[in-house]
Structure 1
Amino acid sequence: MTTTTTATTAKAPAPGETVLDARGVTMRFGGLTAVRSVDLTVKSGEIVGLIGPNGAGKTTFFNCLTGLYIPTEGEVRYKGKVLPPKSFKVTAAGIARTFQNIRLFSNMTVLENVLVGRHTRTKEGLWSALLRGPGFHKAEAASRARALELLEFVGLAAKADHLARNLPYGEQRKLEIARALASEPGLLLLDEPTAGMNPQETRATEELVFAIRDMGIAILVIEHDMRFIMNLCDRVAVLVQGQKLVEGDGQTVQRDERVIAAYLGEPFEGEPGEAEAAEVAAAEAAAEEAAAEEEAAAPAVAATGTAADASDDDTDADADASDADASDGTAAGTGPDAAPSADTDGDGDTDRTTAPTTAAEASGASGTGKENDS
């Protein structure tokens, strides 16, 4: 590492030393409690994962650790000292972070973005910047050299003069990590560093995080990629509805029934889908029963229809015979036993009940009967 004349950097913690100690951290927004009494420690050279469903309070907890939020209750200690409630003072103390949504200076170059992260480690003040004396130029050269080292470390040295907005997504993530490292932190907080990355970029980020850990920097990481978390972390803490549900190594957390229920929902009692299968079977049985009833009723309906058709045929035949008799001059229905009868051919008119007395009337009656049948 290049020796610089910049201000003293964050002292590297001793192996096994507790770097972060969060005690009873609670954050309320009005009547909403986003984080409730969370305890968490991170030791030097350790990678700790923080997981949980969406809305569990992970990023809110990060904001409490870095001074963006002042916890409603509890305290956050870094190397035994309570952190001040100012984000720039937290950075100066030795905690740096990245964000879930990339926050780069898009119109600045890659190198300039990293130099921004160096401001907490330079001792040159306002007058030095205005006068631009030898001390200022020396500090600027040292910061530039350190920034180029970090760009080499993350693999972006060849793009130092490119605008940050022109970098691919994965490289923008790397640049944000380089800017955080420029403040020489003892603890690095990574908020979903692999979000939106493809498998190759995720693997490269995993290797980068291991390399940062090898530098002696403790790491606390939020991530939804379970494979990434389980491969990376020494310990994993699970937040659910703002509370720490369980903490332990990856295998312990993965097998915990409470964690499975939090991510997948409460399991069914008995076989999954048993209730749904029973409902489907009942519906199918009811449909089959209704079909059988319809099939049994069909012959009776058919028989009734046949009898009705036969009756109509007989009635029409009788009407035709009566009309034929009338056309021959026979006095149909004039006997002593004859009785008036209504037309049953369905035309709605009442047929004649007395015989015509002349051939002309017989002919007219016959014509009338034919018109009624048509």
Structure 2
Amino acid sequence: MTTDTTTTDTFPGTPTPGRTVLDARGVTMRFGGLTAVSGVDLTVRSGEIVGLIGPNGAGKTTFFNCLTGLYTPTEGEVRYKDKLLPPQSFKVTAAGVARTFQNIRLFANMTVLENVLVGRHTRTKEGFWSAVLRGPGFHRAEATSRARATELLQFVGLSEKADHLARNLPYGEQRKLEIARALASEPGLLLLDEPTAGMNPQETRATEELVFAIRDQGIAVLVIEHDMRFIFNLCDRVAVLVQGKKLIEGDSATVQGDERVIAAYLGEPLENDPGAAEAAEVEAAQAQAAGHPKDTAAGKETDR
């Protein structure tokens, strides 16, 4: 396995605290006639945790895919530390953006340590011939990389299971391993796609503490999550996507108190919503066709 030659006590390449590391502007993603993401702007600074929430189908994962090079946005641009990110995932990772996935994507038949070592490939300094000839430089680099991977396993609490196969880990620990592998690429920005999905309350709390520890290293974190308690406890700012558009962005209190957010999650129209009158007319027509006319002004059924 090829490795790099740098190890530090903190995550290398961490940006200066407060610096904008992610600047997404006007990101739009269309699939034929379907617009999954429409004109979304979002910034994330180093040492900051930002949440991205919204109902199912709101475009959250599609937006993540646009940020990480899995999709090329139809319109808009994504910059990392003022540099335009290329539309190729391996180049995005090399630039300093790492991610986890909603569905865990580990190498099941590799050990826990080997999975983390795979995450080091973007920081490899040894070339092909060095790996083939396996000279002294290669062995030094290999040892350095293993030491760094071991540090990361200790950081996420998996050091005692370094030699276990990834497939044999409990679900919550597989999530931790995926985060460790992402951190192995030495990112300045970490994207987490539903990191607590399927977890019990104890595992969720442990994940929250881990994300705070990552933030304390100066790494920016952008997280998608459906657990609202987790998101609002964790994040400095929260952005809400609804039908591919950013509805609101602000602190937890602002977002929780916004009637549009409540309506989006409950699936109920707001009072004075422009579409409410049309919906009432349709409902009245359906009731009349069924032989149960309604008084649309009062919004209540009337006896005939």
TM-score in terms of structure 1 length: 0.71
Larger radius of gyration: 1
Aligned-pair identity in percent equals 85
Aligned to 1:226: 228
Structure 2: runs of 5 or more not aligned: 272-294
In the alignment, is the contact (CA less than 8 A) between 2:259 and 2:270 conserved in 1? no
1:169 equivalenced with 2:199 (yes/no) = no
CA distance in 2, matches of 1:95, 1:121: 13
Q: CA deviation at 1:12?
A: 1.7
Counterparts of 1:245 and 1:10 in 2: how far apart (Å)?
Answer: 35
Higher strand share: 2
Residue 279 of structure 2 corresponds to none
Q: Deviations over 1:91-129 (max 9, x none)?
A: 010000000000000000000000000011120111111
Correspondences of 1:307-326 after superposition (within 5 Å): none
* Pairs within 5 Å for 1:164-243: 164-243=166-245
1:5 aligned partner, one-letter code: T
Deviation at 1:266, TM superposition (A): 2.1
Q: Secondary structure at the match of 2:35?
A: strand
Match of 1:115 in 2: 117
Shift, 1:16, TM fit: 1.2
Instruction: Give, in angstroms, the shift of residue 6 of structure 1.
Output: 3.8
Structure 1 position 84, deviation (Å): 1.0
User: C-alpha distance in 2, partners of 1:104/1:169?
Assistant: 11
Aligned to 1:18: 20
Deviation at 1:29, TM superposition (A): 0.7
Of residues 33, 36, 39, the one that matches 1:37 is 39
1:26 is paired with a residue whose SS is: strand
Note the C-alpha offset of 1:11: 2.1
Alpha carbons of 1:132 and 1:258: their partners in 2 closer, same or farther (altered >3 Å)?
same
* Separation in structure 1 between the aligned mates of residue 268 and residue 167 of structure 2, nearest angstrom: 44
CA contact (8 A) 1:7 1:123 kept: no
Q: Which residue type is aligned with residue 12 of structure 1? A: T
- Tell whether 2:275 aligns with 1:257: no
CA distance in 1, matches of 2:22, 2:270: 40
Query: Cα deviations across residues 182-204 of structure 1 (Å, max 9, x unaligned)?
Result: 00000000000000000000000
Counterparts of 1:274-289 in structure 2, within 5 Å, are: 279=301
1: CA distance, partners of 2:35 / 2:114: 39
Does residue 160 in structure 1 map to residue 162 in structure 2? yes
Number of aligned residues: 276
- 1:337 maps to none
Aligned partner of residue 87 in structure 2, secondary structure: coil
Which structure is higher in RCO with an 8 Å CA cutoff and minimum separation 6? 2
Is 1:5 matched up with 2:5? yes
1:136-170 C-alpha deviation (Å, 9 max, x unpaired): 11111011000000000100000000000000000
**Cα displacement string for residues 47-103 of structure 1 (whole angstroms, at most 9, x for unaligned residues):** 000000000000000000000111111100000000111111100100000000000
Unaligned runs of 5+ in 1: 270-274, 287-374
Q: What amino acid maps onto 1:239 in structure 2?
A: L
Deviation of 1:15 (Å): 1.7
Q: Which 4+ runs in 1 deviate beyond 3 A?
A: 6-10
Q: Higher helix proportion, which one?
A: 1
Say yes or no: does 1:129 pair with 2:142.
no
Calculate the TM-score normalised by the size of structure 2.
0.87
Q: Aligned residue for 1:47?
A: 49
- 1:73 corresponds to: 75
2:30 matches 1:28: yes
AA in 1 matched with 2:5? T
CA RMSD of aligned residues (A): 2.2
**2:263–2:270: 8 Å Cα contact kept in structure 1?**
no
- Once the two structures are TM-superposed, the CA of residue 267 in structure 1 deviates from its matched residue by 4.8
Change (3 A) 1:202 1:63: same
- For residue 13 of structure 1, report the CA deviation from its aligned partner: 1.1
Q: Summarize the Cα distance change of 1:203–1:7 in structure 2 as closer, same or farther, 3 Å threshold.
A: closer
